[in-house]
Amino acid sequence: MRKPEPSVKNNSKLRKGLWSPEEDDKLMNYMLNNGQGCWSDVARNAGLQRCGKSCRLRWINYLRPDLKRGAFSPQEEELIIHLHSLLGNRWSQIAARLPGRTDNEIKNFWNSTIKKRLKNLSSTNTSSPNASESSISEPKDLNMGRFISTHDHQKGFMPVLNSSSLSMQATVLTNIIDRLPLLEHGLNMPAAGGFFNVTGPCFTESGVDNNGFYLENGVLGSVNIGPEGDLLVPSATDNPKVEIASNRDTNNSYFDIINKNHRAENNRGGVENLFQDQELTVGEWDLEDLMKDVSSFPFLDFSS
DNA sequence: AACAGTTGCAACCGCACGCTG
DNA sequence: TCAGCGTGCGGTTGCAACTGT
């Protein structure tokens, strides 16, 4: 690896480049004794000639005691691939579901290893009639697990809900994401603890009136399935669970958006005009592939 | 052994967002 | 309302280590 660089930024005494063992010791000792505070204070008080940002990065990506070092296990790898198919390049969201792994680590792993593998795989698959059987897929290239998303991806995402499989797709997403541990926020487990049963091509509830539903901005909501398999999405204000679980802004509740648009869809028929005023990018969700894919996870048990 | 090409990953950069005064 | 600051995120860069010729 690179040797620590003694470089000093022009007009500044702040060091850049690799961290020396001494700097690591200083930061580690300070963090263990004082805990996390204002990062610029950390840099100053720990006697480091680094900017706070650099200290934060070093701590989060390297020094944190709970970090898992070493290669990714096949299970982690598979989980990353599937989370990426659901979340895209939201590395922090993916990292939040992988204990001891950082977003930077996962991002590097993806860009260096998985991306390459996917590329090789897709090039070999083009000549194979069973290309879709691969457990590895990338939404961008292979058309799987795509979502409606806002252009500003910080604002969130929703699964694409077409008119015929609106509730099914939302249900599948709920099942998938709810069963992945969300380490950062701890909001992933549905309060009611219930999941849908899978009975053939449709989904029914298992005696539970709602299920946790994740949004990318950390909001936990719920979905109900109506008597005809239609999706009934309460607004955040109607649903105390949303309010309890939310630790971020819910002003632009997607449940409200879905409700509104679902109603609009019923009135107009078709989904072409949905989300129009949200500047959304519309994709499709290959449900069959997704179901086939997620079934390979032992912890994604759809039968309960 | 020497060199060139490739890989893996630590760290930087720029941007966006939230908070505060 | 706005500017300043701190923080977090995703994209990118740079280089040591590795591999192939």
Q: How far apart are CA A96 and CA A110, in angstroms?
A: 16
Note the strand B nucleotides within 7 A of protein beta carbons: 7-14, 16-18
Q: For A191 and C17, how far is CA from C1' in angstroms?
A: 49
Closest to A141 (Cα-Cα) out of A161, A118, A159, A160? A118
Are the beta carbons of A40 and A68 closer than 8 angstroms? no
For all residues of chain A together, what is the average pLDDT? 52
Q: Which residue has the higher pLDDT, A40 or A148?
A: A40
Q: For residue A185, with 0-12 CB atoms within 10 Å meaning exposed, 13-18 middle and 19 or more buried, which class applies?
A: middle
- Rounded Cα–Cα distance for residues A44 and A214 (Å): 39
Question: Which nucleotide is closest, CA of A112 to its C1'?
Answer: B8
Distance C7 C1' – A228 CA (angstroms): 46
Looking at mean pLDDT, say which of A41-50, A175-184, A204-213 comes out highest.
A41-50
With beta carbons less than 8 A apart as the criterion, state whether A212 and A191 touch: yes
> Rounded mean pLDDT of A46-63?
89
Q: How confident is the model at residue A122 (pLDDT cuts 50, 70, 90)?
A: low
For residues A255 and A234, the answer to whether their CB atoms sit within 8 Å is yes
Q: What is the mean pLDDT of the segment spanning A111-130?
A: 62
Any strand C atom closer than 7 Å to A38 CB: yes
Query: In the structure, how far is the CA atom of residue A288 from the C1' atom of nucleotide B1, in angstroms?
Result: 56
Q: Are strands A202-204 and A147-150 parallel, antiparallel or unpaired?
A: unpaired
pLDDT digits (tens, 9 = 90+) for A191-202: 222 222 222 222
What is the spatial distance, in angstroms and rounded to an integer, between the CA atom of A201 and the C1' atom of B7? 45
Global pTM reads: 0.52
Distance (Å, whole) CA A63 – CA A266: 53
**Nucleic acid strand C within 7 Å of A1 CB:** yes
Span of A17-31, A153-167, A175-189 with lowest mean pLDDT: A153-167
Nucleotide nearest A69 (Cα, C1')? B9
Give A158 or A95, the one with higher predicted confidence.
A95
Q: Which nucleotides of strand C come closer than 7 angstroms to any CB of the protein?
A: 5-12, 14-17
Residues 6+ apart with CB under 8 A from A290: A85, A144, A145, A172, A176
pLDDT at position A125 is: 53
Residue whose C-alpha is closest to residue A213's, from A223, A198, A202? A223
Instruction: Measure the CA–CA gap between A110 and A72, rounded to whole angstroms.
Output: 11
Give the other-Cβ count within 10 Å of A270's Cβ.
10
Pick the closest to residue A213 from A250, A185, A164, A172 (CA basis).
Answer: A172
CB under 7 Å from any atom of strand B: which residues?
A 1-2, 15-19, 53-54, 57-58, 61-62, 71, 104-105, 107-109, 111-113, 116, 152, 154-155, 249
